[in-house]
Amino acid sequence: MIPGNDKACVLLQEIGLPAVRLTPITAEVIGCNELFSSLVDPATSVERRLWFVEGVLPGINAADRAAWQIAFARRTPVQIHVEFESVEGRTLEFEMRSTVSGGRGEVTESVLCVFISLTTPVFERRCDARLSEGQELERTRMRDELHRGVSQQLLGAAFGCKVLAGKVAKLNESLGKEAAALAELVNETVNELQSLVKSNQT
């Protein structure tokens, strides 16, 4: 995804906050705003997807980096100190807040990192409220995607498996049992996804 296409990042850009969205596990950049891209020295990494790994992580001290990596692996929010170097060679200090969009195991799960400049603390109070707005926007997006996509397809699959299990059982008892087990597995997945849908709507 190119900078400017991610709704949450665009919103954060409007209030002056650099932001980047990452894939879980590999921390590849899948979306960001222009403020973020202006912080990263393009010389550090040619590939946009590696902007975070090669352009941000090196600016984090060892202790903070370890804390971030643990939080990243556990999908928990974290706040750490990050430094960038300006074009003029000045050190730019930021607090980086990371949060996970979506629940554990979701296909659309991603990690959103927002950078708050420590040189303008008055701005921080404003951004807290706007960050909540960004999270709400994200929840809405997830809910809509769940409804339009995964939920609907899984519903069809659950009924399809039942139909198949019924037909196969008439032809072959052993295969019928396997098909029934598959249908049950899909049922369990349906129940898990439904819990997720409900928790996303409360």
Partner 1 sequence: MVENHEDTVRYMQLYLQQLGYEVAVAADMAKALLEIPQSQCDVLISDIGLPDGDGWQLMELLGTNRPRFAIAMSGYGTGNDQRRSRDVGYDHHLVKPFTPDALLALLHQAEKMKENLP
Q: Which residues bind partner 1 (CB under 8 A)?
A: 143, 146-148, 151-160, 162-163, 166-167, 187, 190-191, 193-194, 197-198, 201-202
Tokens encoding 127? 């951004």
Q: What are 31's strand-pairing partners?
A: 21
Residues 6+ apart with CB under 8 A from 116: 17, 94, 95, 96, 97, 123, 124, 127
Shortest reach from residue 107's CB to partner 1, in Å: 14
Shortest reach from residue 196's CB to partner 1, in Å: 10
> If we measure between CA atoms, which residue out of 112, 190, 104, 101 comes closest to residue 143?
101
In sign, the C-alpha dihedral spanning 171, 175, 181, 186 is negative
Shortest reach from residue 170's CB to partner 1, in Å: 10
Shortest reach from residue 198's CB to partner 1, in Å: 6
Residues 6+ apart with CB under 8 A from 44: 54, 55, 58
- Give the nearer residue to partner 1 in terms of CB position, either 132 or 187: 187
- Give the nearer residue to partner 1 in terms of CB position, either 42 or 166: 166
Total length of the chain: 202
Shortest reach from residue 181's CB to partner 1, in Å: 15
- Give the nearer residue to partner 1 in terms of CB position, either 92 or 164: 164
- Give the nearer residue to partner 1 in terms of CB position, either 137 or 154: 154
Residue 114's CB is within 10 A of a number of other CB atoms, namely 24
- Give the nearer residue to partner 1 in terms of CB position, either 88 or 188: 188
The answer to whether 36 and 62 are in contact (CB under 8 A) is no
Shortest reach from residue 202's CB to partner 1, in Å: 8
- Give the nearer residue to partner 1 in terms of CB position, either 45 or 200: 200
